[in-house]
Structure 1
């Protein structure tokens, strides 16, 4: 007999990222990034993000530990996209002015 783990606060649409049911724009990977970057506990995540319920944060972390490769691959893809966009973006007017003045 096999059991299926259910994450009641999450949804995983086909070919999409796992996300919160109540706030679908919040992905599990975003919550996990706080854990990885800052070492925040679930309680601290909820203090830092008051919209986040304790049960949602726990569900997200449980999903992460069950599907760590999937979530970390998503984070790596996103990081590479950001690096690519950053490398091709024009500098901001502030940076241009500061360079012209020799301040950076």
Structure 2
């Protein structure tokens, strides 16, 4: 018999990132990024993002620790996409003017 672990407050559809059930626009990876980038505790994440419930944030972190490769891959791919887009973007008019004036 195979058992499947379920995470309260987390929705994981096939081929989709894991998300909060109550606020589907919030992905588990977004919550994890606060943990990785700032070292925030679950309580601090809820203070910084008052729309999060403590139980949701605990569930997101439990999902991360159980499925770390999946979430780390999602974060890495998002980072790589942002870097590609950043390198392909043209300079803003402000940067162009400042460079022309020798200020940058």
TM-score bracket, shorter-length normalisation = over 0.9
Match of 2:40 in 1: 40
Match of 1:4 in 2: 4
What is the Cα deviation at residue 45 of structure 1? Answer: 0.4
Which runs of 5 or more residues in structure 2 are unaligned? none
Match of 2:95 in 1: 95
Matched, 1:82 2:68: no
What is the Cα deviation at residue 6 of structure 1? Answer: 1.6
Whole-angstrom distance in 2 between the partners of 1:20 and 1:103:
46
SS at match of 1:4: coil
Provide the TM-score with structure 1 as the length reference. 0.95
Whole-angstrom distance in 2 between the partners of 1:13 and 1:98:
47
What is the Cα deviation at residue 4 of structure 1? Answer: 2.9
Match of 1:29 in 2: 29
Provide the TM-score with structure 2 as the length reference. 0.95
SS at match of 1:85: helix
Which runs of 5 or more residues in structure 1 are unaligned? none
| Alignment: residue pair count | 104
Ranges of 4+ aligned residues in structure 1 off by more than 4 Å:
none
Match of 2:59 in 1: 59
Residue-by-residue CA offset, 1:64-92 (whole Å, 9 max, x unaligned): 00000000000000000000000000111
- Alpha-carbon RMSD across the aligned residues, in angstroms, is 1.1
